């Protein structure tokens, strides 16, 4: 079912039904397209590293395969030439998924992450390697954490099955940058009677840029809150700005944040997953 031998990345894109043309009776009151069961990965944490080291250089991937095409939908993917440096207990920044993860059937999570030790790849250590699958009937609705243990460490993964979910695609453009500043972005989504944080981005901004595309499963008829934290070098205070978006079947919404150091344009596009 999962086509493990196929190493291709999923070719399916997000937002496939954001501007659907077969709605009934129309796009705003559509009764033809429906929310679906989706998986959401909320966090990845580097739980354990080898004894005697304060930090490690990490590379490799964590990806999911679902019933839509069974190809690799990367959550994290770093090459050996561009590893990330992390300490034990650090969150691993998620660069994916590329599109929403369907959970109408079981989902396979596949991983191969390594610790870079020097110039020679044969000297590297295996952090985690393998697969684990989650059944649509047995995966909890409430976010829970599983530990993936490996030869030289462990990674904690926090996830949940999201019922009645739609796909939110977050796109952020930073423009009119007046000075360097630190920017972090998190979303807060409602799941099982409480809000859960997903950390999307944390880096220094020095010029106009597109942060990337972040895809999130959101329960229908709930709010998704985006929190931007802006900090400047030499300044201890961090300013927070908020945007809120009500989930929908189709369409998109734009909001603008004007700050003294930059202008931030946010676009959220809503879509159901194709059957």
Over residues 57-84, the pLDDT tens digits come to 999 999 999 999 999 999 999 999 999 9
Evaluate whether 26 touches 32 at the Cβ level (below 8 Å): no
Q: Where are the domains of the chain?
A: 36-271
At residue 136, the pLDDT reads 87
Of 187, 109, 199, 119, give the one whose Cα is nearest residue 155. Answer: 109
Count of beta carbons in the 10 Å neighbourhood of residue 206 = 11
Q: Note the pLDDT of residue 234.
A: 65
Mean pLDDT across the chain, nearest whole number? 94
Q: How is residue 270 written in tokens?
A: 């809503």
pLDDT-derived band at 29, boundaries 50, 70, 90: confident
168 vs 223: CA distance, rounded Å: 11
- What span, in angstroms and rounded, lies between the C-alpha atoms of 57 and 123? 13
Confidence band for 181, pLDDT divided at 50, 70 and 90:
very high
Please state, for a pLDDT cut of 70, what percent of the chain lies above it.
99
Average pLDDT over residues 110-133: 96
Region 134-145: mean pLDDT is 92
Span 98-123, average pLDDT: 96
The percentage of the chain sitting over the pLDDT mark of 90, rounded to a whole number, equals 84
Which CA distances in Å does 98 have to 20, 141, 158, 241, 245?
Answer: 20, 22, 18, 26, 20
What mean pLDDT comes out for the span 159-168? 98
Give yes or no for a cis peptide into 105 (omega within 30° of 0): no
User: Rounded to whole angstroms, how far apart are CA atoms 265 and 171?
Assistant: 8
Query: What is the CB neighbour count within 10 angstroms for residue 67?
Result: 14
* Confidence at residue 182, expressed as pLDDT on a 0 to 100 scale: 93
The reply to whether the predicted model has a pTM over 0.85 is yes
Q: Report d(CA 39, CA 215) in Å as an integer.
A: 11
pLDDT at 26: 87
- pLDDT surpasses 70 at 47: yes
pLDDT at 78: 97
DSSP letter at 91 equals: B
Chain-centroid distance, C-alpha 195 = 16
Q: How many CB atoms lie within 10 A of CB 156?
A: 17
Distances (CA, A) of 119 to 79, 81, 115, 124, 133: 14, 10, 12, 9, 34
């Amino acid at each position: 079912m999962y086509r493990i031998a196929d190493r291709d990345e999923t070719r399916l894109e997000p937002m496939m039904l954001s501007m659907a043309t077969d709605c009934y009776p129309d796009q705003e009151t559509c009764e033809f397209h429906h929310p679906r069961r989706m998986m959401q990965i909320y966090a990845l944490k580097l739980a354990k590293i080898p004894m005697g080291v304060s930090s490690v250089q990490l590379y490799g991937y964590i990806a999911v395969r679902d019933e839509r095409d069974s190809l690799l939908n990367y959550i994290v993917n770093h090459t050996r030439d561009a590893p990330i440096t992390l300490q034990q207990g650090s969150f691993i920044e998620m660069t994916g998924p590329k599109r929403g993860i369907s959970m109408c059937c079981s989902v396979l999570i596949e991983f191969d992450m390594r610790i870079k030790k020097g110039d020679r790849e044969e000297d590297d250590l295996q952090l985690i390697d393998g697969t684990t699958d989650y059944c649509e009937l047995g995966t909890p609705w409430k976010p829970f954490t599983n530990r993936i243990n490996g030869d030289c460490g462990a990674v904690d993964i926090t996830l949940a099955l999201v019922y009645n979910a739609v796909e939110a695609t977050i796109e952020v453009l930073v423009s009119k940058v007046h000075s360097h500043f630190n920017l972090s972005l998190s979303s807060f989504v409602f799941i099982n009677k409480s809000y859960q944080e997903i950390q999307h981005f944390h880096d220094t901004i020095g010029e106009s840029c597109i942060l990337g595309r972040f895809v999130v499963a959101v329960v229908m008829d709930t709010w998704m809150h985006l929190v931007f934290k802006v900090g400047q070098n030499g300044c201890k205070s961090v300013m927070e700005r908020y945007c809120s978006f009500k989930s929908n079947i189709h369409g998109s919404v734009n909001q603008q944040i004007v700050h003294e150091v930059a202008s931030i344009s946010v676009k959220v596009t809503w879509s159901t997953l194709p059957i």
